[in-house]
Chain A
Amino acid sequence: MSPADGLGLLAVFGDPVPPELARTLDLAGYRWKSIASAEEAADHEPGSGWTGAIVDCSADPDAGWALARAVRKRDTVSLPLLVLVSGGQLADLSLRDELFDDFCLAPFHPAEFEARVRHLLWQIDGGTRPEMVEYAELALNLETYQASIAGRPLDLTYMEYELLKFLAQNPGKVFTREILLSRVWGYEYYGGARTVDVHVRRLRAKLSEEHAGLIQTVRSVGYRFGQSRWTS
Chain B
Amino acid sequence: MLDQHREYVLRTVEERGVRLVRLWFTDVLGNLKSFAISPAELENALEDGMTFDGSSIDGFSRVQESDVLAVPDPDTFELIPWGEPGAAEARVFCDVHHLDGTPFEGDPRQVLRRHMREAHDQGFTFYVAPDIEFFYFEQPVPGGAPQPLDAGGYFDLTTNDAAGNLRKQTIRKLEQMGIPVEYSFHEDAPSQQEIDLRHTDALTMADSVMTFRLVVREVAASQGVYATFMPKPLEGVQGSGMHMHLSLFRGDENAFHDPDDPYNLSDLAKSFMAGLLRHAAEITAITNQTVNSYKRLVPGFEAPVHVSWARNNRSGLIRVPVPKKDNPLATRIEYRSPDPACNPYLAFSLMLAAGLRGVSEGYELPVEADANLFEIGDDVLAKLGIGQLPQSLADALKVMESSDLVHEALGEHIFEWFLRNKRDEWRAYKTHVSRFEIDRYLRSL
Q: Please tell me if B11 contacts chain A, counting CB pairs below 8 Å.
A: yes
List B177-205 residues whose CB lies under 8 Å from chain A: 178-181, 198-201, 204
Q: Which residues of B contact A145 (CB under 8 A)?
A: 8, 11-12, 15
The answer to whether A208 and B175 touch across the interface, beta carbons within 8 angstroms, is yes
Q: Which residues of A contact B85 (CB under 8 A)?
A: none
Q: Please tell me if B262 contacts chain A, counting CB pairs below 8 Å.
A: no
Q: Which residues of A contact B301 (CB under 8 A)?
A: none
Q: Which residues of B contact A192 (CB under 8 A)?
A: 125, 249-252
Q: Please tell me if B16 contacts chain A, counting CB pairs below 8 Å.
A: yes
The answer to whether A194 and B252 touch across the interface, beta carbons within 8 angstroms, is yes
Q: Please tell me if B75 contacts chain A, counting CB pairs below 8 Å.
A: yes
Q: Please tell me if B127 contacts chain A, counting CB pairs below 8 Å.
A: yes
Other-chain contact of A193, B16, B180, B252 (Cβ < 8 Å): B252
The answer to whether A158 and B5 touch across the interface, beta carbons within 8 angstroms, is yes
Other-chain contact of B9, A158, A190, A195 (Cβ < 8 Å): A158
Name A204's closest neighbour in chain B (CB-CB). B180
- A192, B178: Cα distance in complex, Å: 19
Q: Please tell me if A160 contacts chain B, counting CB pairs below 8 Å.
A: yes
- A191, B252: Cα distance in complex, Å: 9
Interface 1/0s, chain A 83-122, versus B by CB < 8 A? 0000000000000000000000000000000000000000
Name B178's closest neighbour in chain A (CB-CB). A202
Name B17's closest neighbour in chain A (CB-CB). A19
Interface 1/0s, chain A 22-33, versus B by CB < 8 A? 000010000000
Other-chain contact of A206, B74, B176, B199 (Cβ < 8 Å): B176
Name B127's closest neighbour in chain A (CB-CB). A194
The answer to whether B11 and A144 touch across the interface, beta carbons within 8 angstroms, is yes
The answer to whether B76 and A157 touch across the interface, beta carbons within 8 angstroms, is yes
Other-chain contact of A161, B8, B76, B79, B329 (Cβ < 8 Å): B8
Interface size class, chain B:
35 or more
Other-chain contact of B120, A26, A190, A195 (Cβ < 8 Å): A190
List A163-197 residues whose CB lies under 8 Å from chain B: 177-178, 186, 188, 190-195
Q: Please tell me if A146 contacts chain B, counting CB pairs below 8 Å.
A: yes
List B32-57 residues whose CB lies under 8 Å from chain A: none
Q: Please tell me if B4 contacts chain A, counting CB pairs below 8 Å.
A: yes
**Known A158-B74, A177-B252: A206·B15 in contact at CB below 8 Å:** no
Name B86's closest neighbour in chain A (CB-CB). A19
**Known A145-B8, A159-B75, A193-B252: A201·B176 in contact at CB below 8 Å:** no
Other-chain contact of B251, A158, A193, A198 (Cβ < 8 Å): A193
The answer to whether A195 and B178 touch across the interface, beta carbons within 8 angstroms, is no
The answer to whether B77 and A191 touch across the interface, beta carbons within 8 angstroms, is no
- Closest CB of chain A to B172's CB: distance in Å? 8
Interface 1/0s, chain B 1-25, versus A by CB < 8 A? 1001100110110011100000000
Q: Which residues of A contact B79 (CB under 8 A)?
A: 155
Additional 4 contacts, C-beta under 8 A, given A194-B329, A205-B179 = A146-B12, A160-B178, A192-B249, A206-B176
- Interchain residue pairs with CB less than 8 A apart (6): A26-B15, A157-B78, A192-B251, A193-B251, A201-B180, A202-B178
